[in-house]
Amino acid sequence: MTEVTRGSLAGLRVIEISTSVAGPLAGQILGDLGAEVVKVERVGSGDDTRQWTPPAWDGESIAFLHLNRNKLSLELDYKDPRGQQVLRDLIASADVLVQNLRPGALAKAGFSWEELQEINPRLVYCDMTGFGRTGPKAAEPAYDPLLQAYTGIIDMMGTGDGPPARVPLSILDKGTAMWAAIGVLDALRTVERTGRGVHVGVSLLETAVTWTHANVMGALAGNGKPRNLGSGHAGVVPYGAFPTRDGWAFISAGNQALWTRFCMATGADALLTREGFGSNPERSANRSEVEAAVSEVTRAFDTTALIALLNEAGIPCSAVNSVPDMVDDPQVKALGLIEPMAHAGVQDFEVVNLPITFGGAYPDHQCPPPALGADTDDVLTRLGVGEETIAELRRDGVVASVPDRA
């Protein structure tokens, strides 16, 4: 591994026992910040996302590729007593353990919080669950779309007469990973101060309730279920996606000055004196009529021409782009957020950087997403396991590495 030139976590060791999205992303964030992350994977199959295809890039699962850079892969059966001892030794050498297995699974394997404290009293243990640490559903597994349904997010989406639709991104998994990283960073400071380990808990349910905070407060205030406004905003009109001759434009007229500029720039100044359109409270009360009038205005323009006109007038706006449009956007390119990374199995491989810069630069990368078991022998050797023992463990299927599948 190349030396990390940026990242305050350089020199720390993180053990990641996780699969799917939330745990792997938490590990990747810590790896991006400089930590050595050892990803402990099931012998023979590894992280579930290795098999999540399509989509794929040169045969490699994109789900795995985008969540697992800057890690070492250790293929280990820790249910075998010998594998359990390897994991105990690894945890004893670590600063942080992150896991998102089914609730209780790691404890059942001999690694409860109490047992972890005995192994390593200074350990930061980040325990990621679906429904949280207590309550009637605490022991149940959970997935991002399920929690979107459970917490009202799918209901907020609204599809008219069509079936319910989720947010087509793993927003709760990835949000939970962010909270996990924040919790770990805080816990590391606590360990520095007290010398005692910390149990950090995060869950998809708690992330979802946090993301819907304003709606929760509305419910507490007795406001009931909010209207579904599509791309609109409850308190600002016009705000949202409006049709053009050849697509859609998202327009944010967030105050009276911007509404006036929109009307003047598009030649729709008659709307300024139209009854019920005079102020934002009036426009909110007459939302349907205002949106219909604005749509009539925007349909007279091609998308590119309208965006250029509104930009000139200083009105926040955007074409409703596809992801391929966004990838090629000059602003995204100027940031250097997407950059090449050498990968033995994927030609022209590129990654999206951690979205934080330090002194104007993104953190350096240590390595691409690893092949399953790519670092098994190296990790074991650094734990002091001898060659003969490693060979025995490989023979018996307690550990495995890339050559075992060659």
**Catalytic residue at 343?**
no
Looking up tokens 């509104």 gives 310
Rounded to whole angstroms, the Cα distance separating 22 from 386 reads 34
Contacts of 121 (CB under 8 A, 6+ apart): 195, 196, 197
**9 with 22: CB under 8 angstroms?**
no
What are the Cα distances from residue 207, in Å, to 54, 132, 216?
28, 10, 13
Q: Which long-range contacts (CB under 8 A, 24 or more apart) does 182-185 make?
A: 183/126, 184/26, 184/30, 184/96, 184/98, 184/124, 184/126
Q: Of 66, 199, 233, 343, which one is the catalytic site residue?
A: 233
Contacts of 113 (CB under 8 A, 6+ apart): 107, 125, 127, 199
**The pair of three-digit structure tokens given for residue 323, joined into one six-digit string:** 């992801």
**128 with 100: CB under 8 angstroms?**
yes
Rounded to whole angstroms, the Cα distance separating 136 from 145 reads 20
Q: Angle of helix 213-220 relative to helix 204-211, nearest 10 degrees? A: 70
Instruction: Please count the helices (runs of H) and the strands (runs of E) in the chain.
Output: 18, 14
Q: Angle of helix 171-194 relative to helix 22-32, nearest 10 degrees? A: 50
Longest dimension (CA), the chain: 86
DSSP one-letter string for 318-338: EE---HHHHHT-HHHHHHT-E
Rounded to whole angstroms, the Cα distance separating 362 from 16 reads 23
Closest CA to 242 of 300, 199, 186: 300
**90 with 44: CB under 8 angstroms?**
no
Looking up tokens 């390595």 gives 367
Phi-psi region of 80 (alpha: psi -120 to 50; beta: other; left: phi over 0): beta
- Residues with catalytic annotation? 233
